[in-house]
Amino acid sequence: MAYFDFNGKKIYYEIHGEGRPIVLLNGIMMSTLSWKMFVESLSANNKLVLLDFFDQGQSDQYTEEPYNQDLQVKALKALLDHLNLEAPALAGISYGGNVALKFAVTYPDYIDRLLIFNASAKTGDWLKEMGQSWIMSAKDPAHFYNTTIPIIYSKMFYDGKSKWMQERKKFLVDNIFNNKVFLDGIIRLIQSADDYNIEDEMSKITAKTLIVASQYDPITPFSDQKQLHDGIKDSELVILPDCGHATMYENPVLFTTLILGFANSKFEGLKI
Amino acid sequence: MAYFDFNGKKIYYEIHGEGRPIVLLNGIMMSTLSWKMFVESLSANNKLVLLDFFDQGQSDQYTEEPYNQDLQVKALKALLDHLNLEAPALAGISYGGNVALKFAVTYPDYIDRLLIFNASAKTGDWLKEMGQSWIMSAKDPAHFYNTTIPIIYSKMFYDGKSKWMQERKKFLVDNIFNNKVFLDGIIRLIQSADDYNIEDEMSKITAKTLIVASQYDPITPFSDQKQLHDGIKDSELVILPDCGHATMYENPVLFTTLILGFANSKFEGLKI
Amino acid sequence: MAYFDFNGKKIYYEIHGEGRPIVLLNGIMMSTLSWKMFVESLSANNKLVLLDFFDQGQSDQYTEEPYNQDLQVKALKALLDHLNLEAPALAGISYGGNVALKFAVTYPDYIDRLLIFNASAKTGDWLKEMGQSWIMSAKDPAHFYNTTIPIIYSKMFYDGKSKWMQERKKFLVDNIFNNKVFLDGIIRLIQSADDYNIEDEMSKITAKTLIVASQYDPITPFSDQKQLHDGIKDSELVILPDCGHATMYENPVLFTTLILGFANSKFEGLKI
Amino acid sequence: MAYFDFNGKKIYYEIHGEGRPIVLLNGIMMSTLSWKMFVESLSANNKLVLLDFFDQGQSDQYTEEPYNQDLQVKALKALLDHLNLEAPALAGISYGGNVALKFAVTYPDYIDRLLIFNASAKTGDWLKEMGQSWIMSAKDPAHFYNTTIPIIYSKMFYDGKSKWMQERKKFLVDNIFNNKVFLDGIIRLIQSADDYNIEDEMSKITAKTLIVASQYDPITPFSDQKQLHDGIKDSELVILPDCGHATMYENPVLFTTLILGFANSKFEGLKI
């Protein structure tokens, strides 16, 4: 419900509730709107900060060069400075997980807790090619849908929520994936992740960290989460069975449980 | 820090903190003391209720017949009536998980949330024989240690916490496992679980339920947790990799995260 | 190295070696050529039968209607009748696994052993949409590559065999995925699997069956293989960790081990 | 059906069939008799060599010092020299897997293939204490049964084969576990594995190696098999779901499939 200026570009953000700050970063096709059903729960006892990255939702498009995830990290840092949050928990999923990880590597003392869902330490050749496929499909709404959605949602979710999926398909194809501004933004966002790589910097992260893996996530598979867990000193790893890449929608109850439980608990003395 | 009378026998219980009530039930070899390092975290924003079952800690021994987990359920029910808790979350690990499940099947409306760690729907032949082995080893402190502890704790935990394990071994063998009163209590507790079976009653559970499985738990393996998840309507399942049966000690941070996150979050509207 | 006529259309097939017959069915983008490196091993003590389905390799295109996997099953049945094989083991991967399963359901007594790699019991909405994405990408070689290959091969394989993957990419994009005949065939093959569904017929399978699941297979995930294992009476299930959908290339040693071990062993008396 | 003299002690061994030699090493409570139902399958096209280690079956007891698994390795080496086998495949389960691994580390060129079921690279504190529990239970047949068997067999196997388990229980308790010679042998065998450790020598193994892990094996859990796979250069790893430590009895079909498939296949050229 507010805009923040970063280098002459607008970042849209929202603040909900009061309490220990939780900053929650979007996946690539998401926006602050995507968290609608979570806002009540996540802001009941916390100051929940949501934002749209450049090229998402109500933030500005970013068409200049250079543009990679470091830019999103810098804009996020400036916003957090501006908001003057105390010891925030930083959470992110997928693209937002990368940005959160890069932020934690760059400004380790800034955050108190780090929560990573379905992210990885590097955009390798494999993921880059998958990204190319998304970009190349972006000319046609149905094509873009078929290329991205069955990779993002698990088969179990499709089968269990087939009516919702059918309605969502219609909505996305008719209203979102035919929007050139949206698609151009997605393309730039995909490209902005191409050179992401914190493989050699994970040890810089000092915040207590939670890594969440989903059993059926083909984009950031379990091995990616294991690599993060092995590389980040003070980290915990949890697995959600029968869940795909879109953890927040496939299992909103566990997503909320893990965010609030990990961001809000005192862990002092919990050590053997 | 108080005693409750049930049929002329004393149940020891403790109440810590204020807020939404969380009742946390011990595993078989535990007592209220076992939760010492968790009390601060778990009672920071909650009314934490701990208790010793009959034959545990400071509660009375129970040497009469009949005596099975239904008795523990009834005593728990009477205590909760006495405490007049509103919509408590009921959590239990192992033996305490069985009691929590049996409670939820018997008094479904009584609780608001159910949290089950490392428990099962039935004490089958396999677990009964393992229990017999524990009973038969109980005459000798070192024998009892060697028979129970490597089954309870994972190899990773032994390797990662070898100094702690060595000290604990000395403490347990010299101070606890040589205590005839303790061991006689353990024997009765094991026997009290022999006829436990809620396989055909799981559908009665109406509380929102969390099932936590540990990858390396040989006592209540993943298949047991899957069975509970399949049988309990409104349940979520999570897996802790590289963790054994003693989840609260092997991963106190995730144990606390899951308890507080699941007991305290609002889940209304979190549905697709 | 021979052609068989089925309803006026040619099916190309090869026979290598002598011994117990193993009929090995291609995945969708494969042909008899794809098995080149396996021929020596698989025919050392067996009569290995390879064939191209319609629209694959050297078999005829099939442009008439109706055309689904039942057609491939019937052509296979006619070929096997013609070859007069005794008690063959029938093996298939992916598309070929579907055909093998449908064959086993339709002619249960015809085969002695059934070996299924990375297949499923049904082409559901989820897989159909993924197939649509492949079809829509088929106009452009690089697009088709980026859409299919990172789904077929696991990230571990990409990282471990990056040089081979780069060379193969160049080869496929420059020589195969720019071939309209090939791509039109792929499109028809994808469409021919759209109505595949043996979910209610699995119990008809009487052959001793091996189901092989790969940990990182996003096309036919573990849950698919579990469903097959649960539905097929006399079946065994094995998991290949760190392996993607293209099991035969990602782990040729275990692929060969499982084919030859399961097809050739006597299992009489091996029962408890 | 013959005896071999090693340092004045007799080793009992059997040879069945003709063909590529497979030497199959017993688990700790096994003997050549334990393989009875496998002999026909495993010797159909192979020269199957079975033997009793010292303190097993019809081999001599070994009551002198020093006595550890190196002794079993040396006796095996002498027997294989005597038999003059050409390029044998060496397979072992549990205790026999340790001996096979130590053999492969000590005489890497001697064997052509190595097949390891349910073994580990080291007897750590955790396993040593479990072994102590077995030793301390060995005075009482029922106690020994209850302490060992539910750890060796999975819950699924108990549930699926309850009649067989009940009969076997009676047989073992009444005929085997009350035999002081047998139990004294088991005690010495357990102690002989106490100093086993090849953690720093795994890289010496040059034979093509198969590592088989069982999902529900609490004695040598998946992490042990992963360590072997990571440490042995030319190794493959496979997982048997729903299977316990006694892989040969819980899944005799897959056990046989993997032994024969891996020992007999040509893998030349199967490389990408």
Residues in chain C, total? 272
Q: Cβ atoms within 10 A of the Cβ of D181, count?
A: 9
CA C8 to centroid of chain Cα atoms: 24
User: Which chain C residues are Cβ-neighbours of D259 within 8 angstroms?
Assistant: 261
Distance between CA B98 and CA B116 in Å, rounded? 8
Chain B to chain D, count of Cβ pairs less than 8 Å apart? Answer: 100
Render the burial of D187-201: b for 16+ CB within 10 Å, e for the rest: bbbbebbeebebeeb
Give, as one character, the DSSP assignment of residue D271.
-
User: Which chain A residues are Cβ-neighbours of B258 within 8 angstroms?
Assistant: 257-258, 261
Interface test with C, best of D164, D215, D253 (most C CBs within 10 A): D253
* pLDDT at residue B272 greater than cutoff 90: no
List residues in chain B touching A: CB distance below 8 A. 37-38, 40-41, 44-45, 161, 164, 208, 210, 236-242, 249, 251-254, 256-262, 264-272
Residues in chain D, total? 272
Give me the torsion for CA of B39, B260, B209, B246, rounded to 10°.
-50
What digits encode the pLDDT tens for the residues A61-93?
999 999 999 999 999 999 999 999 989 999 999
Q: Where do we find the tokens 């996540």? A: A42
In chain D, what percentage of residues exceed pLDDT 70? 100
User: Which chain B residues are Cβ-neighbours of D165 within 8 angstroms?
Assistant: 125
Beta-carbon separation of D158 and B223 below 8 A: no
**C-alpha neighbours within 13 Å on the C-beta side of residue D151:** 26
* pLDDT at residue B1 greater than cutoff 90: no
CA B102 vs CA A237, B217, B238: distances in Å: 30, 21, 21
Distance between CA C154 and CA C215 in Å, rounded? 9
Give me the torsion for CA of B32, B37, B43, B45, rounded to 10°.
-160
**What residue type is assigned to position A105 of the chain?**
V
CA B66 to centroid of chain Cα atoms: 21
Beta-carbon separation of A260 and B264 below 8 A: yes
What angle is formed at CA A16 by the lines to CA B48 and CA A34, rounded to 5 degrees? 105
- Report whether D57 contacts D23 (CB < 8 A): no
Distance between CA D102 and CA A211 in Å, rounded? 38
pLDDT of res. C271: 87
Distance between CA B230 and CA D57 in Å, rounded? 45
| DSSP state letters, chain C | -EEEEETTEEEEEEEESSSEEEEEEPPTT--GGGGGGGHHHHTSSEEEEEEPPTTSTTSPP--SSS-SHHHHHHHHHHHHHHHT-SS-EEEEETHHHHHHHHHHHHSGGG-SEEEEES--SB--HHHHHHHHHHHHHTTSHHHHHHHHHHHHS-HHHHHHTHHHHHHHHHHIIIIITT-HHHHHHHHHHHHHTTT-B-TTTGGG--SEEEEEEETT-SSS-HHHHHHHHHHSTTEEEEEETT--S-HHHH-HHHHHHHHHHHHH---TT---
Nearest to D26 by CA among D9, D18, D14, D17: D14
3-state DSSP percent of chain A in helix, strand and coil, to 5: 50, 20, 35
What digits encode the pLDDT tens for the residues D128-143?
999 999 999 999 999 9
Q: Which sign does the torsion angle of CA B170, B173, B179, B184 carry?
A: positive
- Report whether B49 contacts B21 (CB < 8 A): yes
Nearest to A25 by CA among A74, A83, A72, A86: A72
Instruction: Please tell me whether residue A153 adopts helix, strand or coil conformation.
Output: coil
Give me the torsion for CA of B127, B128, B130, B135, rounded to 10°.
150
C156 token code pair: 């571990």
D151 token code pair: 């750890």
Q: Cβ atoms within 10 A of the Cβ of C103, count?
A: 27
B191 token code pair: 């026997």
Provide the H-helix boundaries in A25-179: 39-42, 69-83, 95-106, 125-137, 141-152, 155-160, 162-171
B249 token code pair: 């000690």
What digits encode the pLDDT tens for the residues A5-52?
999 999 999 999 999 999 999 999 999 999 999 999 999 999 999 999
Q: What mean pLDDT do residues A172-183 have? A: 97
- Per the prediction, chain A carries an average pLDDT of 97
D35 token code pair: 């393989």
The residues, ordered by sequence, that sit 6+ positions from B65 with a Cβ below 8 Å of its Cβ are none
D90 token code pair: 């060496």
Q: Please, is D8 exposed, middle or buried when counting C-beta atoms within 10 Å of its C-beta (0-12, 13-18, 19+)?
A: exposed
Asked if omega into B108 is within 30° of 0 (cis), the reply is: no
What digits encode the pLDDT tens for the residues A94-150?
999 999 999 999 999 999 999 999 999 999 999 999 999 999 999 999 999 999 999
- Report whether C112 contacts A89 (CB < 8 A): no
Instruction: Please tell me whether residue D24 adopts helix, strand or coil conformation.
Output: strand
- Report whether A163 contacts A171 (CB < 8 A): no
Q: Where do we find the tokens 């294992």? A: C229
What digits encode the pLDDT tens for the residues B177-233?
999 999 999 999 999 999 999 999 999 999 999 999 999 999 999 999 999 999 999
Q: Where do we find the tokens 């070996």? A: C115
Q: Which sign does the torsion angle of CA D13, D14, D19, D22 carry?
A: negative
User: Does residue A198 come out as left (phi exceeding 0), alpha (psi in the -120 to 50 range) or beta?
Assistant: alpha
The residues, ordered by sequence, that sit 6+ positions from A169 with a Cβ below 8 Å of its Cβ are A145, A149
ipTM (interface pTM)? 0.97
pLDDT of res. B131: 98
User: Which chain A residues are Cβ-neighbours of B249 within 8 angstroms?
Assistant: 272
What digits encode the pLDDT tens for the residues B40-96?
999 999 999 999 999 999 999 999 999 999 999 999 999 999 999 989 999 999 999
Distance between CA B197 and CA A15 in Å, rounded? 49
Distance between CA D41 and CA D20 in Å, rounded? 14
User: Which chain D residues are Cβ-neighbours of C168 within 8 angstroms?
Assistant: none
C82 φ, ψ (degrees, to nearest 5): -60, -40
C to B contact (≥3 Cβ pairs closer than 8 Å): no
Interface test with A, best of C120, C122, C127, C129 (most A CBs within 10 A): C129
pLDDT of res. C272: 86
pLDDT of res. A22: 98
The residues, ordered by sequence, that sit 6+ positions from A3 with a Cβ below 8 Å of its Cβ are A10, A11, A12, A13, A58
User: Which chain D residues are Cβ-neighbours of C252 within 8 angstroms?
Assistant: 267, 270-272
A91 φ, ψ (degrees, to nearest 5): -125, 145
A to D contact (≥3 Cβ pairs closer than 8 Å): no
- Per the prediction, chain B carries an average pLDDT of 97
pLDDT of res. D220: 98
Low-confidence spans in chain C with pLDDT less than 50: none
The pairs formed by C163-167 with CB atoms below 8 angstroms and a separation of 24 or more are C164/D272, C165/A125
Return the residue of D nearest to C238 by Cα. Answer: D240
Distance between CA C28 and CA D201 in Å, rounded? 44
What digits encode the pLDDT tens for the residues B133-162?
999 999 999 999 999 999 999 999 999 999
Interface test with C, best of A122, A126, A187 (most C CBs within 10 A): A126
pLDDT of res. B28: 98
- Report whether A214 contacts A247 (CB < 8 A): yes
Nearest to D42 by CA among D260, D202, D240: D260
pLDDT of res. D103: 98
Distance between CA C83 and CA D48 in Å, rounded? 35
- Report whether A258 contacts A210 (CB < 8 A): yes
Beta-carbon separation of A261 and B260 below 8 A: yes
D153 vs B271 pLDDT, higher one: D153
